[in-house]
């Protein structure tokens, strides 16, 4: 990776998944970075060299850059804001009851900037925020500055007031948890939303300098308006979520028609206009982004009087899909699961992360426990975050906690279970010792919410195997719809 030609002073507000990765990677490029967070325990942990999240490759980068003095962690807002010429806002934007993004953290970070800035700043919005937020961030900064008798360049100024420059750039983040460092260091594109004036051009030149190491091979920067950049992030996540829900709906229908969704996926994906990405059927999407971003974009539509019907269907299908495995278990064992035990492989919402936000495993485990079952779980990295998330889910029924056990060994989680349920496609689950698995399970029965195995091979290994839209021996239908076939263009 190329290094920065001239070191820049960078501040990151919010040291969670995005902020910590952004700050650490920018330090790795040679910049002088201060990461701020209001969560004192997080900062304490980072200052003692312990990275509070699981993200491949991140620990080493944090340790190295701290040691070399380019990366600091603090809870001191004034110090952090003084430090950065470029200040990133990377705080959470969780969903509110009505689905809209809660901007209170982002706007409070903006107010902090206005309260403490004493030199010109480029403020970069990395959080996923609704269209129009860059203007609101700029406004929140200017209000605090005016309380201190400081005016922003480009706004009406009072006589005698000091003037400072502050431009807001919308720079949405597209990294994927589990591959965050790699994605940040090798971005497909860098979206920069700037205002169409001198201030915007000034900010753009600084951002171009900061991101120059990523553009040596070819230009990856897309410059647009702030509002377009904000919309781009929602549009991208909504599109990916749509593909997933579409495939899940097709998979459910395919099951009924005795069609293997895997053949369909390959047949569709080979069309270059469609491509293979994000066409996997499964137990539904989760995580901190897709669910909240789909809801927020849908809510924006409502506020603007534009019905986003596709998005409401995407969300609805996903909610239903999270129950799909549970429905299959109930179809097999009945609604009263007392006296039954189920093994679970996978808690995290996807592999290579310990993130439990909106993970489908939570829906399934909750459903099993509430129906009276005992549940034995395994996850290679999300055991701690999984315990915290499930404790929260079971707050109204704490007595069910005793029916849940956590196992460090994946075979122990299957021990004596009536069936095994797979909810995260961890690599370590892909080729287990099937003989051993069969001997540990009470029944050789697997409900696979991630379609890890080939149904025919599972049948040969004498497992009863239920994937999502997978069938082991597709049969030719004896009757055909009489209507003319649709064209395929």
Q: Near ligand NAD by CB under 6 A, which window of 104-112, 135-143, 217-225, 318-326? A: 104-112
Q: Tell me the C-alpha to C-alpha distance, in Å, between residue 293 and each of 97, 130, 337.
A: 13, 9, 35
Shortest separation between residue 48's beta carbon and ligand NAD, angstroms? 16
Q: Is residue 91 a contact residue for ligand NAD (CB under 6 A)? A: yes
- Compute the Cα dihedral for 287, 412, 280, 244 and give only its sign: negative
Q: Is residue 128 a contact residue for ligand NAD (CB under 6 A)? A: yes
3-state secondary structure 213-236: HHHCCCCCEEEECHHHHHHHHHHH
Q: Near ligand NAD by CB under 6 A, which window of 11-19, 246-254, 310-318, 382-390? A: 11-19
- Cβ atoms of 18 and 91 closer than 8 Å: no
Binding residue for ligand NAD (CB under 6 A) from 23, 30, 84, 92? 92
Which tokens is 171 given? 């720079």
Which tokens is 407 given? 């196992």
Binding residue for ligand NAD (CB under 6 A) from 4, 8, 11, 15? 15
Binding residue for ligand NAD (CB under 6 A) from 13, 113, 150, 169? 13
Instruction: Kindly identify the residues of this chain, within the stretch 395-454, that bind ligand NAD according to CB under 6 A.
Output: none
Q: Near ligand NAD by CB under 6 A, which window of 2-10, 158-166, 173-181, 441-449? A: 173-181
Question: ∠261-365-254 over CA atoms, to 5°?
Answer: 15
Q: Near ligand NAD by CB under 6 A, which window of 8-16, 64-72, 253-261, 422-430? A: 8-16
Binding residue for ligand NAD (CB under 6 A) from 8, 10, 12, 18? 18
Instruction: Kindly identify the residues of this chain, within the stretch 264-303, that bind ligand NAD according to CB under 6 A.
Output: 288-289
Q: Near ligand NAD by CB under 6 A, which window of 17-25, 423-431, 452-460, 475-483? A: 17-25
Q: Is residue 46 a contact residue for ligand NAD (CB under 6 A)? A: no
Shortest separation between residue 336's beta carbon and ligand NAD, angstroms? 38
Whichever of 289 and 410 has its CB closer to ligand NAD, that residue is 289
Shortest separation between residue 55's beta carbon and ligand NAD, angstroms? 10
Binding residue for ligand NAD (CB under 6 A) from 4, 8, 10, 14? 14
Whichever of 183 and 412 has its CB closer to ligand NAD, that residue is 183
Q: Is residue 37 a contact residue for ligand NAD (CB under 6 A)? A: yes
What is the Cα–Cα distance from 291 to 8, expressed in whole angstroms?
35
Binding residue for ligand NAD (CB under 6 A) from 32, 55, 173, 358? 173
Q: Is residue 107 a contact residue for ligand NAD (CB under 6 A)? A: no
Residues binding ligand NAD: number (CB under 6 A): 27
- Cβ atoms of 261 and 232 closer than 8 Å: no
Q: Of the candidates 338, 299, 336, 331, which has an alpha carbon nearest to the alpha carbon of residue 315?
A: 299
Binding residue for ligand NAD (CB under 6 A) from 7, 9, 108, 161? 108
Q: Is residue 19 a contact residue for ligand NAD (CB under 6 A)? A: yes
Q: Is residue 16 a contact residue for ligand NAD (CB under 6 A)? A: yes
Integer Rg of the chain from CA? 25
Residue of closest CB approach to ligand NAD: 16
- Cβ atoms of 274 and 268 closer than 8 Å: yes
Q: Near ligand NAD by CB under 6 A, which window of 172-180, 186-194, 263-271, 479-487? A: 172-180
What is the Cα–Cα distance from 336 to 333, expressed in whole angstroms?
8
Whichever of 191 and 264 has its CB closer to ligand NAD, that residue is 191
Shortest separation between residue 121's beta carbon and ligand NAD, angstroms? 15
Shortest separation between residue 53's beta carbon and ligand NAD, angstroms? 7
Q: Is residue 42 a contact residue for ligand NAD (CB under 6 A)? A: yes
Q: Is residue 230 a contact residue for ligand NAD (CB under 6 A)? A: no
Q: Is residue 103 a contact residue for ligand NAD (CB under 6 A)? A: no
What residues act catalytically? 289
Q: Near ligand NAD by CB under 6 A, which window of 85-93, 197-205, 269-277, 478-486? A: 85-93
**Binding interface with ligand NAD (CB under 6 A):** 13-19, 36-39, 42, 90-93, 105, 108-109, 112, 127-128, 173, 175, 177, 288-289
């Amino acid at each position: 990776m190329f290094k920065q030609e001239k070191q820049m002073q960078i501040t990151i507000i919010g040291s969670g998944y995005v902020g910590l990765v952004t700050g650490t990677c920018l330090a790795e490029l040679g910049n002088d970075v201060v990461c701020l967070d209001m969560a004192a325990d997080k900062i304490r942990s980072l200052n003692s060299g312990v990275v509070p999240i699981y993200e491949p490759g991140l620990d080493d980068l944090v340790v190295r850059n701290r040691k070399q003095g380019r990366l600091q962690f603090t809870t001191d807002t004034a110090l952090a804001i003084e430090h950065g010429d470029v200040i990133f806002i990377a705080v959470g934007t969780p969903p509110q009851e009505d689905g809209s993004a809660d901007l209170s953290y982002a706007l409070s970070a903006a107010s902090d900037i206005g309260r403490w800035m004493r030199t010109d700043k480029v403020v970069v919005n990395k959080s996923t925020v609704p269209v129009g937020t860059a203007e609101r961030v700029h406004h929140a900064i200017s209000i605090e500055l005016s309380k201190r008798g400081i005016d922003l360049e480009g706004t009406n100024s009072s006589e005698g007031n000091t003037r400072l420059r502050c431009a807001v750039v919308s720079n949405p983040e597209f990294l994927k948890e589990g591959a965050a460092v790699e994605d940040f260091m090798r971005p497909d594109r860098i979206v920069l939303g700037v205002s169409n004036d001198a201030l915007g051009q000034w900010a753009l030149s600084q951002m171009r300098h900061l991101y120059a190491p990523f553009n040596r091979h070819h230009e990856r920067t897309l410059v647009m308006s702030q509002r377009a950049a904000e919309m781009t992030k929602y549009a991208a996540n909504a599109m990916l979520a749509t593909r997933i829900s579409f495939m899940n709906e097709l998979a459910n229908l395919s099951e009924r028609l005795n069609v293997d969704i895997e053949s369909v996926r390959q047949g569709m994906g080979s069309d270059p206009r469609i491509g293979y990405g994000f066409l996997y059927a499964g137990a539904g999407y989760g995580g901190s982004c897709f669910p909240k971003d789909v809801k927020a974009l849908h809510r924006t539509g409502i506020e603007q009087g534009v019905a986003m019907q596709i998005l409401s269907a995407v969300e609805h299908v996903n909610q239903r899909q999270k129950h799909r495995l549970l429905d299959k278990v109930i179809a097999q064992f009945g609604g009263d699961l007392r006296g039954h035990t189920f093994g679970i492989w996978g808690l995290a919402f996807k592999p290579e992360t310990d993130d439990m936000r909106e993970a489908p495993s939570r829906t399934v485990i909750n459903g099993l426990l509430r129906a009276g079952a005992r549940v034995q779980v395994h996850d290679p990295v999300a055991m701690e975050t999984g315990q915290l998330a499930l404790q929260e889910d079971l707050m109204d029924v704490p007595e069910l906690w005793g029916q849940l056990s956590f196992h460090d060994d994946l075979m122990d989680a299957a021990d004596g279970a009536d069936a095994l349920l797979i909810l995260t496609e961890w690599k370590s689950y892909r080729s287990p010792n099937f003989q051993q698995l069969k001997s540990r399970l009470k029944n050789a029965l697997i409900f696979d919410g991630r379609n890890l195995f080939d149904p025919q091979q599972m049948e040969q290994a004498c497992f009863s195997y239920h994937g999502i839209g997978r069938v082991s021996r597709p049969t030719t239908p004896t009757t055909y719809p009489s209507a003319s076939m649709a064209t395929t263009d």
